[in-house]
Structure 1
Amino acid sequence: MPYFFPTRRDGDQVEILGNDARHLAGPLRARVGERIAVVDPAGELLRVALRSVSERVVAGVVVHAQRYDPEPKLQVTVAVAMLPAAALEHVLSRCTELGAAAFLLVSAGRSVARGAKPDRWSSICREAAMLAGRLRVPEVRGPVGFDELLAAPEVLVLDPEGTQPLSGAALPGGALTLAIGPEGGWSDRLVNLGPRTLRAETAAIAALTAALLRAGDL
């Protein structure tokens, strides 16, 4: 069963409403007396005993609480060119599970044009964050232009023909933006991931994993 975010918390009383309540009462078949894991974004992992379950509201009492902070110290924004829908959603889901702090969608010269679907993207990130037990749901911003991406601080632009490998690039201590291009590649070629050419969605996951490993956050 995934972790859940509380809709409301008052002391040891917790309520979960909306789609999460419907998911608990329906497909997950939660029952009174059952215990679920709830992540309070204030920094606590709660074990909650359910006292009532309906599709409108699931309510329970906290029976155990502990300090909890699984978030990476290196805050990585994954900037990815607009990809076909399935590929983009795969990036959002997997990179959220790994620990991406945010996403920046970029309309690059060679990217595939897609309409913005902010509600869909936010929902995918939220579901992945719940599955991974994260404190926060990454924000998805954009699409923005490539020039706006380059104006952000601490940007590493990845390209298969880049002259410097990511493994040798200097990483900042606090925040970093990793820019992963479309299948046609970026116009500017700066940093590569190694000797093999990867699909854009694979490159995004590999780059985030490499950065977090180097920072000691995996």
Structure 2
Amino acid sequence: MHRFFIHSQDLDTEKGKAFLRENTAAHVKKVLRLREGDEILVSDGQGSAYVSVISCTGKDWVEANLKEALPGSREPKCKVVLAQSLIKGEKMDLVVQKCTELGVKKIFPMVTRRTVVNLTPQKASRKIERWSTIAREAAQQSHRDEVPFIGELSSLEDILAEKGEDTLCLFLWEQEEKGSLKEILKKSNSFKEFKELLIFIGPEGGFAPEEAELAEFHGAYPATLGPRILRTETAAIAALTMVLYELDDLGGYYE
């Protein structure tokens, strides 16, 4: 069954109606060629999802009757947040897409000392809009109940300073010698009790030593992903996969 995300104001639970508009409506009618009586899944991207039946269509809209709410959730129990250093070309698009499919809650594009990408405020705004669209499409494709939030472009210092007290931070650094991410996750059984888990991924040139010191000062756990140096986009996907597996979110069935 096809799933579609709609704006919360287009989901009227009191009247039992959902409205799909513009591009989404065009996709329903012209690409999928769905008609009145066909069932679809609609979600507001904030956790509410319903089996619905198309009741009527217009030039640029589709109306559906809500049939039943979907029980359970496909979202990880722990909110996993990714602070990803800006990377060149379409690599950031890949990180947003794949991490959305895996279950990330939020993504913060980050500027670090070795970041080589320079974005003006106008370009940053357009990029964030693009990444939000990619996240929405990836969440829809992977049948998630929520669309990840793409935050404003931030510095490492600001993200560390603004993290909550109930947030566990993992700072992935290739020069770390004390322990691997695998070891930290296995030893820290209590990490499952945190409400939020924040993963820091560096740029192509890696984090600077002083940034690692700053992160550790703010309570982050420095960790390495293993003996091989991964590209930054690969590191983000690998780290998120490992964390969600240890959280018992990947590799099984959702309840």
Q: Give the equivalent residue in structure 2 for 1:179.
A: 200
1:1-218 equivalences under 5 Å are 2-7=2-7, 8-10=10-12, 11-41=15-45, 43-115=47-119, 116=124, 117-151=127-161, 152-153=163-164, 154-163=168-177, 164-169=179-184, 170=188, 171=191, 173=193, 174-188=195-209, 189=212, 190-218=222-250
After superposition, the CA RMSD in angstroms is 2.0
Deviations 1:108-149 (A, max 9, x none): 111221431121111111111111222221111132122223
**Structure 1 stretches (4+) deviating beyond 4 angstroms?**
40-44
Residue 135 of structure 2 aligns to a residue in which SS?
A: helix
- Long gaps (5+) in structure 1: none
Deviation at 1:60, TM superposition (A): 1.4
Q: How many residues align?
A: 218
- Superposition TM-score, scaled by structure 1 size: 0.90
Whether the aligned pair in 2 keeps the contact of 1:30 and 1:53 (CA below 8 Å) is no
Residue 162 of structure 1 aligns to a residue in which SS?
A: coil
Distance 1:92 1:114, change over 3 A: farther
CA distance in 2, matches of 1:172, 1:216: 10
Distance 1:138 1:41, change over 3 A: closer
Whether the aligned pair in 1 keeps the contact of 2:22 and 2:61 (CA below 8 Å) is yes
Deviations 1:31-60 (A, max 9, x none): 222211122556443221112234511111
- Long gaps (5+) in structure 2: 213-221, 251-255
CA distance in 2, matches of 1:42, 1:191: 32
User: What is the identity percentage for the equivalent residue pairs of Structure 1 and Structure 2?
Assistant: 33
Whether the aligned pair in 2 keeps the contact of 1:4 and 1:39 (CA below 8 Å) is yes
Distance 1:150 1:38, change over 3 A: same
Deviation at 1:213, TM superposition (A): 0.9
CA distance in 2, matches of 1:81, 1:129: 22
Q: Which has the higher helix share?
A: 2
CA distance in 1, matches of 2:239, 2:231: 12
Distance 1:44 1:106, change over 3 A: closer
CA distance in 2, matches of 1:42, 1:187: 37
- Superposition TM-score, scaled by structure 2 size: 0.78
